[in-house]
Amino acid sequence: MAVALAQSSTDRRKTKYPVIDGDIHPTLTSPRALDKYFLDDEWRTYHQTIGGRGFTGTSVPRTYPNAARVDSYPPNGRPSGSDLDFMRMQLLDAWDFEYGILQPLLGAASMRNQEYGAALSSAINEWQIAEWLEPEDRLRSGLAIPYENGPLSVKEIERRGSYPGFVQLLMAMRTSEPLGRPKYWPIYEAAEAMGIPLGIHVGGQGGVPITGSGQPSYYIEDHTGQSTAFQTQVASFIFEGIFERFPKLKIVLIEGGFGWAPSLCWRMDAAWSKLRGEVPKLRRKPSEYFAEHFWLTTQPMEEPPVPHQFVQMLEQAPWLQKKLMFATDYPHWDFDAPDQCLPDTELPAGFEEALMCGNARALYGLEPREKAAVAVAAG
């Protein structure tokens, strides 16, 4: 093992700090790989016969199959992201990750049959435990929940939420209603009671187009548009008074970028200063709720054309320094490498360490590990 680690590391400039990767996508080895994890035969049969039925009408060639990096297909012929050993070699060992947080994007909550979505969520969670979390101590994950149905979500949280490898609830950002709306409150109540953050990843399907004016034509619009959708979800959480109702709730926004954070705060504060009578639940400026309750993963990293503008952004929203968490988005095409993702400019003291590991350790309660640098030193 040490030898393999050293070999895979020799072609990489090592990172200065331990790395926690907030966004890794494990995939199924085959479409039938979940069958054995269904908790009962009835839903297993449904899964094998009818299967997933989500929201349709958004087919477009998406440039890269399964959004995968071309070098991410394991030599054994399995799908990109489906082989733990290859993931260790290409990712976890290559940069000597301290931890990696999985985000299986299997769409359980986007099922129109919500009871099937709940059964699928349970199967996904059992699969995660058996095939990823038990075999690999560095991995953590999110608990899949059928989040369009509050009571069924709470049931799954009660069933499996206390498994120690689950460090957040797994949600996607494209929902049927804005996420501050009351239908989602049972989830927030349960999350707050357990002290577990919500991890909201880009994508998903809620049956609503990704623009406020219907479905766009191209993948680039959908991909870039995810950050517009995040902005409206943040506004919904804040203006619905979610953080007055659930003051300990913590939310991680995954893969939505963060260059929009300063201007969204300015706009929310300006609007609230004049319209706050409509939302009397709020007792503080919207930007203060944002700064306190939201964390954001870094991939896709913001890349201003002039690197020091990245620092300007941090000056405009200083709280970002405590809230940004590194992520790779492995094995997707827009992968960020930990030794290459930061702008080439002088960053605030302590920021890089906070981003690479400190903020994630604090949020998820992850114990620092001795940096397994033996092999690197040997290499």
Q: Between residue 290 and residue 329, which ones bind another protein under the rule CB under 8 A?
A: 300, 302-306, 309, 312-313, 315-316
Q: Which of 76, 215, 340, 345 binds another protein (CB under 8 A)?
A: 215
| 274 belongs to the binding site for another protein (CB under 8 A) | yes
We find the least distance from the C-beta atom of residue 198 to another protein, in angstroms, to be 15
CB burial of 240-275 (b: ≥16 within 10 Å; e: otherwise) equals: bbbbeebeebbbbbbbbbbbbbbebbeebeeebeee
- State the DSSP code for 149: S
Q: How many CA atoms lie within 13 A of 347 on its CB side?
A: 13
Tokens in use for 59? 């087919």
| 255 belongs to the binding site for another protein (CB under 8 A) | no
List the x/- string, 159-198, binding to another protein by CB under 8 A: --------------xxxxxxxxx-----------------
Instruction: Identify which of residues 98 and 240 has a Cβ nearer to another protein in the complex.
Output: 240
Looking at residues 191 to 210 of the shown chain, list those that interact with another protein (rule: CB under 8 A).
206, 208-210
Kindly report whether the peptide bond that precedes residue 331 is cis, defined as omega within 30 degrees of 0.
yes
We find the least distance from the C-beta atom of residue 362 to another protein, in angstroms, to be 26
| 56 belongs to the binding site for another protein (CB under 8 A) | no
Closest to 117 (Cα-Cα) out of 38, 36, 226, 209: 38
Task: Count the Cβ atoms, other than its own, within 10 Å of residue 48.
Answer: 13
Closest to 36 (Cα-Cα) out of 114, 127, 117: 127
Measured CA to CA, the distance from residue 122 to residue 52 in angstroms comes to: 15
Cβ–Cβ < 8 Å for 124, 165: no
| 288 belongs to the binding site for another protein (CB under 8 A) | no
Instruction: Identify which of residues 8 and 287 has a Cβ nearer to another protein in the complex.
Output: 287
| 77 belongs to the binding site for another protein (CB under 8 A) | no
Tokens in use for 275? 């319209």
Instruction: Identify which of residues 74 and 262 has a Cβ nearer to another protein in the complex.
Output: 262
| 58 belongs to the binding site for another protein (CB under 8 A) | no
Binding residues with another protein: total (CB under 8 A) = 73
Q: Which of 30, 263, 340, 345 binds another protein (CB under 8 A)?
A: 263
Instruction: Identify which of residues 29 and 231 has a Cβ nearer to another protein in the complex.
Output: 231
| 134 belongs to the binding site for another protein (CB under 8 A) | no
| 259 belongs to the binding site for another protein (CB under 8 A) | yes
| 97 belongs to the binding site for another protein (CB under 8 A) | no
| 257 belongs to the binding site for another protein (CB under 8 A) | yes
What is the separation, in whole angstroms, between the first and last Cα of the chain? Answer: 13
We find the least distance from the C-beta atom of residue 230 to another protein, in angstroms, to be 9
Give the SS3 label for residue 144: strand
Measured CA to CA, the distance from residue 70 to residue 58 in angstroms comes to: 24
Give the SS3 label for residue 170: strand
Task: Count the Cβ atoms, other than its own, within 10 Å of residue 283.
Answer: 11
Measured CA to CA, the distance from residue 379 to residue 377 in angstroms comes to: 5
- DSSP β-ladder status, 198-201 and 251-254: parallel
Looking at residues 223 to 252 of the shown chain, list those that interact with another protein (rule: CB under 8 A).
223-225, 227-229, 231-233, 235-236, 239-240
| 356 belongs to the binding site for another protein (CB under 8 A) | no
| 333 belongs to the binding site for another protein (CB under 8 A) | yes
